[in-house]
A and B are shown apart, each in its own frame.
Chain A
Amino acid sequence: MSAPNKYPTESLKLWGKAKQLREQYYQNYATAKEKGGLRWSGSAWALDAVPAGLGDDVYSLTGEPYAAAVAHDRKFAKECMDAAESVGFARDLCSYMRIYWGGMHLDKYLYGGKFPKPDFIFQTQICCSHSKWYQHVAKVEQVPQFYVDVGVGPYKDMNKDRLDYVTNQLLDGIEFLEKSTGRKFDDEKFLKAVKNEMRSTSRWADICALNKAKPAPLDEKTMYSLYVLATLSKSSQWCADFYDELYDEVKDRVARGIAAVPNEKARMMSDTQPPWSFLKIFRYLETYGAVSIGSLYTFALEGIWEDKPDGSWGGRTLPWEKGIEMNTREQIARLYADWNLSKPQWQHFFDPRLKTEMMLRIVREWQVDGVMLHLNRGCEGLSMGIMENRGGIAKAGVPIMTFEGNMGDEREFDEVRTQARVDAFMEQLGLRRQAA
């Protein structure tokens, strides 16, 4: 059976630029010392606009996207995990953390050479692994460390005390940075970085909102290569500028009816990080005419959202567009904390029902036909409460399937069984495979 393509398609013009920016990021970290710069490490959720106040020659290595990049190289990923296990770490810990640790213990960097040592650790804490991850790094590398506890409850219940608690930690963090690096903190650079981050994360949400269009201009597999820039360096000028450019290109695709999947018949939504070495599962979906339009994970791991006046979900309005001023260090830190605490992907750490509500919102606004949940053994943080989400989504009458796997550890992913699950789900949705 062969179905003719329904929609025109074309490759993304900015694809190459995204790839180049990503490569440059990892190179910058590796070579920072050659130019007298500083290196720090923390997670993709680290409040990275703070270290940016130390200067323009300060480079980060965010652990999760680095480990995800390693996961694509199955041989090296296994080597890293073996190394972490041989140090004595259990196999059921966060697979990103094990990959990062393994690379550090092997002293091997994915992009060649030795594993670059950070000058300090600057990290947030919301998942149980966050602090433990970098405490071990700090111990092995013998570098100073600072953690910001952001576990203050859901944003809907935000109050002055909670916001003070995080803001004050950021201000303490600035003192820590000055003391541990001997550099003077520059509030102008801090402000610029905070503004960049607000631009990046709000713009990324706007880009995802464009995917409400039918046909979807982007598929989730492509989105992974784009959202990653915010996980690397959301407070950088290059990241904010790139998303502005990308927004224009995606908007143009919507205007011209350009589809990511030309035979789009059904729209899927996923959840949590995918098994990175098996992204072909998304291409398999396409053989049924199914496109994954994204997920709360892709949209909101870094995207910052708000309710728009018409009731829809879109990028959060930038404070200065609302006339809110950021003049003092304290004001900047407070608005920056508030901005991050509204991150949708942090809310389920407090209550899985908040995540179910957001997922159902995506189902409605993005016109999703079916939900595929990855029960990700590699990430207890994002998998927490996922069966509650399944229950809530099924109760709402939305077709849903689950498959088990691991974002970084391929030993826990069964490709054949997962394909069989997908086949059954597609049958449930009344879809049949189309000849190539």
Chain B
Amino acid sequence: MFATGAGRKQVAFATEGVTEMTAGAKGANYMFPMCRTVVDVGAEEGRGMKTDAEGKAVDFAGNEKCAAGAGSFAEAMSRALQMTLKEFGEASLKSDKSIPMNAQCTVFAESEVVSLIHSSTPKNDIAKAVLDAVASRVCAMVRRVGIEGEVVLIGGMVHNAGFVQSLKTAMGVDAVSLPDMPEYISALGCALIAAERQH
């Protein structure tokens, strides 16, 4: 029995653990065999992995304590705009404005959002500004490992169409491949690794 994810060590019945980086790279590469760059953005963390043809993670980078490159940041900002996450993503797609957000930190970014609200900036533009900011931080992490081959996005932020668009723009790529059930790609990768180790 193998476990993956941040809480894998808490799974008492698991005999082995695999980190999210290794499992995510494996799962993404299994779904998209030409994938060499995996971007994983969930609520808690954003990270980039470089994988080889076998789905082995050969380099990775992630955000540290700061949440500004992760889904929870987008979630907090959508709350500030009194929108659901889905509405937030869709709203962003309706904007063609680029409003830079200067704050590095979620707390300060929230006050920037409040200023934008007070200056009557349309919600669509604010949503895009926030998602562009998350995408730019994630992209900076991914660039550390290098962008190569097919780019695959996994994790909950796949469901946010606005973020996907912002990410493509930030990375300067035409396409980002999106798996079905993106939250389970790391679990899939973990299962594949478990199967390999049985042989």
Among residues 42 to 67 in chain B, which have CB atoms less than 8 Å away from a CB atom of chain A?
56-62, 64-65
Q: How large is the interface on A (under 10, 10 to 19, 20 to 34, 35 or more residues)?
A: 20 to 34
Whether B64 contacts A420 by the Cβ 8 Å rule is: no
Contact A423 B17 (CB under 8 A): yes
- What 1/0 flags go to A381-394 for Cβ under 8 Å of B? 00000010011001
Do B22 and A417 have beta carbons less than 8 Å apart?
no
Q: Give 26 A-B contacts (CB < 8 Å), ordered by A residue.
A: A375-B64, A394-B59, A394-B144, A394-B146, A400-B59, A402-B61, A404-B65, A412-B65, A417-B65, A420-B19, A420-B20, A421-B62, A423-B17, A424-B19, A424-B20, A424-B21, A424-B22, A424-B60, A427-B18, A427-B19, A427-B21, A427-B22, A428-B21, A428-B22, A428-B57, A428-B60
A401 within 8 A of partner (CB): yes
Q: In whole angstroms, what is the CA distance A401 to B64 when docked? A: 13
Cβ of B1 under 8 Å from chain A: no
Interface residues of B in 116-149 (CB under 8 A from A): 144-146
Instruction: Tell me the nearest residue of chain B to A428, going by C-beta.
Output: B57
A-B residue pair count with CB separations less than 8 angstroms: 45
Interface residue count on the B side (C-beta < 8 Å): 19
**Pairwise interchain contact A414-B19, C-beta atoms closer than 8 A:** no
Which residues of the other chain, B, contact A424 by a CB distance below 8 angstroms? 19-22, 57, 60
Q: Give B15's nearest chain A residue, CB to CB.
A: A1
Q: Give complex CA distance A398, B80 in Å.
A: 44
A residues at B contact (CB < 8 Å): 375, 387, 390-391, 394, 399-404, 412, 414, 417, 420-421, 423-424, 427-428
Is B195 an interface residue, CB under 8 A from the partner? no
Q: How far is the CB of B105 from chain A (nearest CB, A)?
A: 12
Determine the chain B residues whose CB is within 8 A of the CB of A414 once the complex forms: 64-65
Rank and list the top 7 A-B pairs by shortest CB-CB distance, nearest first.
A404-B64, A424-B19, A424-B21, A427-B22, A423-B19, A428-B57, A414-B65
In whole Å, how far is B16's beta carbon from the nearest beta carbon of chain A?
A: 8
In the assembled complex, the CB of B186 is this many whole angstroms from the nearest CB of chain A, namely 12
CB-CB nearest in chain A for B62? A421
Among residues of B, the one whose C-beta sits closest to the C-beta of A420 is: B19
In the docked arrangement, what's the CA distance between A417 and B58, Å?
19
Asked if B12 CB lies within 8 Å of chain A CBs, one says no
| Residues on A with beta carbons closer than 8 Å to the beta carbon of B62 | 421
A399, A421, A423, A427: the one within 8 Å of B59 (CB): A399
Instruction: Name the contact of B57 in the complex, choosing from A404, A420, A427 (C-beta under 8 A).
Output: A427
Q: Closest residue to A377 on the B side, CB-wise?
A: B64
Please give the distance in Å from A206's CB to the nearest CB on chain B.
34
Residues of A within 8 A of B146 (CB): 394
